[in-house]
Amino acid sequence: MEDTSKLIESCLKNDRAAQKQLYTLYSKKMYGVCLRYAGNIEEAQDILQEGFIKVFSHLDSYKGSGAFEGWIRRIIVNTALEKLREKVILFTLTDLENNLSEIQDERISAPCSEEDMLKLIQELPPRYRMVFNLFAIEGYTHKEIAEMMGINEGTSKSNLARARMILQNKLKDQFVIKDKVV
């Protein structure tokens, strides 16, 4: 943490070498976060760039409590949320809650690489992708997601259920041929 503190201090003094070092230290991991929220590589790169601009412009607000990486991650996730709000008209699935009982928790035993799963997540509609990532990957509650996205808890739950159903169907389509797992 001491090295990180010194690096942050140097960045606050507009030391370009320190800023580059900080970016190099965290950009790869944060790019992985961006890929989960983005619909494609270009969008992920945009989120990463905008996120790090915010990191550097708000670096003075980091007070040292909690992990610095977690602070950066929060900024990246919030940047992804802002991108979603800019480009998507948020909607509610009114009839999905009526159909939730039909959704079965089926397991697929076929191998699925991390890259394959990332591609499937990226294919989700932006709203579903955002709720899925915030809940399943980042660990936020539906209440927190609702507050972050400006929706109600029920909408968050139904969007998550729909995202899971879409992913399950995509996995089945990808790995099941005539009722036999490949």
Name the strand (E) or helix (H) holding 61.
Answer: none
Q: Is 102 a residue whose pLDDT tops 60?
A: no
pLDDT at 119: 84
- CA distance linking residue 40 with residue 59, whole number of Å: 28
Spell out the residues 6+ positions from residue 156 whose beta carbon is closer than 8 angstroms to its own.
131, 135, 142, 145, 146, 149
Phi and psi based region of residue 66 (left: phi greater than 0; alpha: psi -120 to 50; beta: remaining): left
pLDDT one-digit tens code per residue, 107-152: 434 456 777 788 888 889 988 999 998 998 888 999 999 998 889 9
User: Strand, helix or coil at 156?
Assistant: helix
Question: Distance from CA of residue 80 to its chain's centroid?
Answer: 7
Which domains are present in the chain?
2-87 (1.10.1740.10), 96-181 (1.10.10.10)
Other CB atoms within 10 A of residue 121 CB: 23
